[in-house]
Amino acid sequence: IIAGVGGVLIFLPQIALLFLLISILEDCGYMARAALLMDRLLGNLGLSGRSFIPLLSSFACAVPGVMAARTISDQRDRFVTILVAPLMSCSARLPVYVLFIAAFIPDRTVLGGWIGLQGLTLLAMYSVGAVIAVPVALLLRLTLLRGTSSPFLLELPAYNWPTPRTVFLRVYGSCRAFIVRAGSVILAATIVMWALAYYPRSEEIRQDFDDQRSAVTVLPAPDRKAAIQQLDRAEAAAHLEASLLGQAGHFVQPVFEPMGWDWRIGMATLASFPAREIIISALGTIYSLGGDHNEDSGDMRRGLKNATHADGTPVFTVPVALSVMIFFALCAQCMSTLAVIQRETASWGWAAFSFTYMTLLAYAGAFGVYRLGLWLGW
């Protein structure tokens, strides 16, 4: 359980760097000028220049991004911004991208050696939400939130050198909030996941594998050790499949099969609804029961690579890994964001609409990428 939380905290340096860069841009006065420069472009996309700061802030976390939309006076522009802000890839998605890219995307260069394939994939994951936000915003302005926008007026502050103390406090506050969430929401979810994956314990399964272990004791020492390790993994997998988590996973498996997911990926995804990064600890909890892996990044990657179905085929392939990343790039799995949307719009209807349309987008995107990957032979 402790390792499950640690599997999320290991990504804190990358997240701190993201918060640092955004804090520097805010403190030097560039953000307001960027909003002015982006007004014409965003206006053609159904938004306004004032939407730029909330959208950019959402790359760190959608919660302050949605709250920053308060500065938009026009209600239609504000609501459109609120509804598309969660599509920006927040810091909670970064651990998902890093894990699956490092594990399944080949470490080689493309485009004549100019760029690494892993880096290009990470850039694509960060871009896909922003690209999808364009037609979503246009569609909202043509349907549910149609109408003309108010003129864009903005007072430009003077350029300043970033104040180290201010930048430090912003980064510290953001990182502290991330750690607190890892120690509360993620810890609670990890405990629940472990309990669901551990209970009930089948006495028949235990007795059956004890008998098999007794049978291999006659083997030579090296072969006996390997056979016992294999039996331990098989017993853990059998207990997991018979657990409450396994039973629920098999029940919902038909929903996830079109995306190439097995019941374990589906259950880890459902468990990550409180916070997207929970999928890291959830997968670690599930797959550590099937082997002796720690949840540091290297062992976690090896554990996912070595995961197999009952017929011996790998659970994770490149198309499956891409479908998981696309799903998390577009889904609305964050309770805090939905709660803030409800508060800012004064309506649970808009929060439900945000969750529904983003979930459908994520499912369609993951399905399409998985099928495309199979067709291309990845």
Residue 58 lies in a domain: no
pLDDT band at 154; cut points 50, 70, 90: low
Query: 366 and 326 in contact (C-beta within 8 Å)?
Result: yes
Who has greater pLDDT, 371 or 197? 371
Mean pLDDT of the chain: 81
- For residues 177 and 154, give the distance between their C-alpha atoms in angstroms, rounded to a whole number: 31
Report the range out of 104-108, 215-219, 299-303, 349-353 with the highest average pLDDT.
Answer: 349-353
The tokens of 252 are what?
């919902």
215, exposed or middle or buried, with CB in 10 Å at 0-12, 13-18, 19+? exposed
Number of folded domains that form the chain: 1
- For residues 19 and 22, give the distance between their C-alpha atoms in angstroms, rounded to a whole number: 5
Report whether pLDDT(214) > 50: yes
What does the pLDDT read at residue 289? 40
pLDDT tens readout for residues 256-267 = 999 999 888 888
Query: 280 and 258 in contact (C-beta within 8 Å)?
Result: no
Query: 105 and 95 in contact (C-beta within 8 Å)?
Result: no
Residue 229 lies in a domain: yes
Residue 221 lies in a domain: yes
What does the pLDDT read at residue 371? 95
pLDDT band at 5; cut points 50, 70, 90: low
Residue 227 lies in a domain: yes
Query: What is the full DSSP assignment across 186-234?
Result: HHHHHHHHHHHHH-SPPHHHHHHHHHHHHHGGGS-HHHHHHHHHHHHHH
What does the pLDDT read at residue 258? 93
The tokens of 210 are what?
């004890």
Structural domain harbouring 234: 200-242
Residue 325 lies in a domain: no
What does the pLDDT read at residue 133? 92
Residue 217 lies in a domain: yes
**Residue 145 vs residues 38, 61, 80, 359: alpha-carbon distances, Å:** 21, 25, 7, 20
The structure tokens 């300043």 sit at 160
Residue 207 lies in a domain: yes
The structure tokens 């993951």 sit at 366
pTM: 0.75
Point out the least confidently predicted range of 78-87, 146-155, 215-224: 146-155
Report whether pLDDT(131) > 90: yes
Residue 137 lies in a domain: no
Average of per-residue pLDDT across 97-105: 90
